[in-house]
Amino acid sequence: MHNPLSGLHCPDFRFRLQHRALSHRSLYLPLEMKYNSKIQRLLKGESLLSVFNACTIESARQAFDELRYYYDFAFWAAKKYYIRDREDADNIIPLVLNNFQHYFIDIIQKRFYNQQLGRYIITKSFGKVGVTTCIQAYILWMQTYRYYKHSYTCSASDISIHPLKSNLCRYLHRDIVPSDKMIFIPKAGRKAFFNTFRSPDYIRGIDLGYVHYADMSRWYDPDDNNASRAYSAATSAVLMSFDTLVILEGNIPKEEQFQMEKHQSFAIPYHIRLKLLEHLTNNPFFLDHVAMANTPNIFDSHLLHINLDHTYKDSKRIRILPLPPKAQPIFHS
């Protein structure tokens, strides 16, 4: 079981740090953090008080935690990001990653470390496990601590957008959730945009770093009047770079209903492919992209499919390459 406080078995490549002034137990920190100048000094045995220029152990530990927030998403989420408990709507709890969230965040973070393109389509055929909530938290963390870029969330309706905006406002210590489609994030100096797929051209002309197409199986668009336009409008505003992120996610039918190999003939005109899929879903555009992501040599094959129904199969298929010794990632100290 993973422990977000110690970092044991948490997402990302990790290294072990033993420092009694920090913790009596070993800490398992993101590998990227190992190259930070302060961590290097701790590894060489320097005093915690000296490294963080602190007067007390408590203030030094707080400074260490602030540094760790920058590198360790799972730690930040458990300490800083609060969500509404699905079991009790009156209860606000920290975001401690469940096994499904841990799985796809691990893939995303390891590929980010390797500077691989962050383009994903995440699917499942079962009930809620917090995929949308976790992606929103990850984008906010990236936006706030790593690369200061605008984000965009496209959802099925204003009703489905409201809880996502509520989580962000809670993090920003705002009591009122604005009706506006944009929320400014002071620490990042950037904006988080929210919209529905029914206004597909809303985001045109805005440079984006992070795009999240949320719960796409709920987009009722059997004739694709808006879904593909909403997708192209936002995706075209994102640079093809490892420090950007585009995620599509939603439910798909079970295998016995959605036999993917029957929908991978992309020589067939698009409108016919939609007709073949519309009896399976409200959003055939989404299922078409799932099939596309699983078909080699397709123009949109840069989408990596993470199927939460087949986590072990996916883990064998996904290649995560270690960086050469001299090709360490670039980050702040």
* pLDDT value, residue 318: 44
φ, ψ dihedrals at 305, nearest 5°: -85, 120
- What's the CA angle centered on 93, arms 90 and 95, to 5 degrees? 140
pLDDT of residue 47: 95
CB atoms within 10 A of CB 59: 13
Q: Which two tokens stand for residue 73?
A: 């998403």
Residues 49-96 pLDDT 10s: 999 999 999 999 999 999 999 999 999 999 999 999 888 878 999 999
Beta bridge partners of 88: none
- Where the chain has pLDDT below 50, the residues are 312, 315-333
Is the CB of residue 331 less than 8 Å from the CB of residue 32? yes
Strand-pair partners of 248: 121, 213
What's the DSSP call for residue 27?
E
Q: Tokens for 303, please give them.
A: 């989408």
What CA–CA distance (Å, rounded) separates 60 from 50?
9
For residue 310, the model assigns a pLDDT of: 80
Dihedral Cα 271, 274, 278, 284, nearest 10 deg: -130
Q: What is the pLDDT of residue 325?
A: 43
What is the model's pLDDT at position 299? 63
Calculate the CA dihedral of residues 168, 169, 171, 174 and round it to 10 degrees.
170
**260-275 pLDDT tens trace:** 889 988 889 999 999 9
Position 58, amino acid: E
Q: Please tell me the predicted confidence (pLDDT) of residue 297.
A: 77
Q: Which residue has the tokens 């007067």?
A: 55
Tell me the pairing of strands 245-251 and 210-213: parallel
